[in-house]
Amino acid sequence: MGQRSAWTNALVMALAVAGGGCASGAAQQLPRATSPSEAGCFAEVPSFTARPPDGRPRLEGRDSPFSSHAWGIAEALGLSAQLQLASSAATHERRREARRQVIDRIALAKFRISAMRAGFDCAGDRVELAKEELRSRADRHTTLLTVGSILIDAVAGITAAALELGGGQSRAATVVALTGGSLGAATGLWALLPPSSRVDYRHRRNVLADVWTGRPSQGLFTADVWHLLHLSDASGVSPRQRLIQRWRAQLASSPESEQLLFGAGGAYSVEELSLREAFFELVESESDLLNQTLESLLEEVIAAPSEDAALTPAPPRTLGGTSAG
């Protein structure tokens, strides 16, 4: 009777260890009190009526010193009239004031692009936090079950040895060893299985959705940045079109993720979080190109000769190449 009681106690001890490890592993899979989200990353801006420019120069600008591309950028920024005045106003003062207005608006647009890029950096960091939560959950799951497996094997081994040394009950010791080994193996195998592989991640104001649908409906883009995204380059492709093409290519392997990525959020896997992060990085790259676009207009405005300079005769030059005194 005493031997049977010892054998029973050994089994109960091993099961308790296994149960404790499993219960701890289950507890680690409970969601956090506050789920990660993109709230606060993007400031709300005034709404506007989208009017994608076609990139063609205004007729009255054909004889100006500015290129067709410069006129397209100016149209996107709502600066066509100022750019026209910058080269054709009747007085030098009016031309200078028009150029100052163009330069100021370019600086404002660059600031807004930088602010938008900061929002994408923030959202990317939030995505990384959500991925880190999934990785931490998996690490805790593996660690707890691995430790549980080791403890079960240790308890089973010690108990079996004690039974043999105490009463020579080899059969009971064998049963304890087999039971403990089975439980340890099961727990070890369970450690190899991933825990809950999704995390709740929300983005009620989804900046990617505006670009995807072509409708600035959530107060995320300013008018000038939005119209720059629709400005076609020399090949006839706009930044938004390039983004859509690249997104579609990346979605080809997981089309079922489209609603999740461009909706209000939900249960994300690590792969889907990585995909969203990649989408943000593509938008950031296009933001850098938008800044280059603005700089090209700025360079033309600064380099364009004024009418006064064009009418001023050059000083006579001597044979040595210097101006005559």
Which tens digits make up the pLDDT trace of 198-209? 889 999 889 999
Q: Give the count of beta carbons closer than 10 Å to the beta carbon of residue 129.
A: 14
Instruction: Identify the pLDDT of residue 165.
Output: 62
Are 253 and 297 contacting, i.e. CB atoms less than 8 angstroms apart? no
Q: Give the count of beta carbons closer than 10 Å to the beta carbon of residue 246.
A: 16
Q: How far apart are CA 27 and CA 22, in angstroms?
A: 9
pLDDT more than 70, % of the chain: 60
* Residue 276 vs residues 115, 126, 248, 264: alpha-carbon distances, Å: 20, 11, 13, 13
Instruction: Identify the pLDDT of residue 198.
Output: 86
Instruction: Identify the pLDDT of residue 303.
Output: 86
Instruction: Identify the pLDDT of residue 320.
Output: 43
Instruction: Identify the pLDDT of residue 112.
Output: 94
pLDDT band at 91 (very low <50, low <70, confident <90, very high): confident
Q: How far apart are CA 312 and CA 15, in angstroms?
A: 99
pTM score, whole prediction: 0.69
Q: Write out pLDDT tens, residues 235-290.
A: 899 999 999 999 999 999 888 899 999 999 999 998 999 999 999 999 999 999 99
Q: Write out pLDDT tens, residues 130-165.
A: 998 887 775 665 666 566 666 666 666 666 566 566
